[in-house]
Amino acid sequence: MDLIVTEIVDCGLIGEGLLPTLRHARQRLLKPGGRLLPHAARVAGAVLSCPSARQLNFVHGTQGLDLAAMNNLSTPGHFPLRLDTWPHTLLSDQVEILRLDLVAEPLLDGSRVLRVPITGSAVADGLVAWFELDLADGITLNNAPVNAGSHWMQAYLPFANPCPVAAGQQLAVEVRWHDLQLSATPFDEGSR
């Protein structure tokens, strides 16, 4: 094929199988010199405090029963959250989480450590993320929270253990991605 156009993206970019599908398409379907749309993608986000969202993925107990063992079944990675419908506080400015050249990179599993400057003081529940796709020169598509016209929600990457943060500090967060999910874990750099 001379041109492959795909829209297999979810709120966190990769949850519908974008990476393995593009690996296959590039290897088996796209002719040398063919074009791939989108040809590049970025995931950006911010540290989020949202006590209501914190309850979406974890259970503690009810009626005197300890249900914490159920957390072993919680979503291990990102899931959709329409940010403007939840009371929340962004605890950082926007940071780049992931950048992909969809034409040339191997699109394999990976991880990176972000050092995010914190701008507010509260409990950090996770990251909220959104993508931007490069379709052609100067033409992009995104699901940023300010893009009210997007049908995609934003991606919530909950921390298994929410942590208090204070304005002025840096929060180290390891972000991991593989074929179907993004996940994030904060850590104390002194412990590594």
**In this predicted structure, which of 6-10, 42-46, 62-66, 169-173 has the lowest mean pLDDT?**
62-66
Alpha carbon distances (Å) from 146 to 36, 154, 167: 27, 10, 24
The Cβ-side half-sphere exposure at 78, using a 13 Å CA radius, reads 33
Tell the burial category of 11 from Cβ atoms under 10 Å away from its Cβ (0-12, 13-18, 19+): buried
Top-confidence residue, 151 or 89: 89
100 strand-pairing partners? 41
CATH architecture of 3-191: Distorted Sandwich (2.70)
Spatial distance between the Cα atoms of 133 and 99, rounded to a whole number of angstroms: 10
Domain edges within the chain: 3-191
Top-confidence residue, 15 or 60: 15
191: pLDDT strictly greater than 70: no
pLDDT digits (tens, 9 = 90+) for 38-84: 999 999 999 999 999 888 877 766 788 887 777 777 766 899 999 99
Q: Is the pTM of this model over 0.95?
A: no
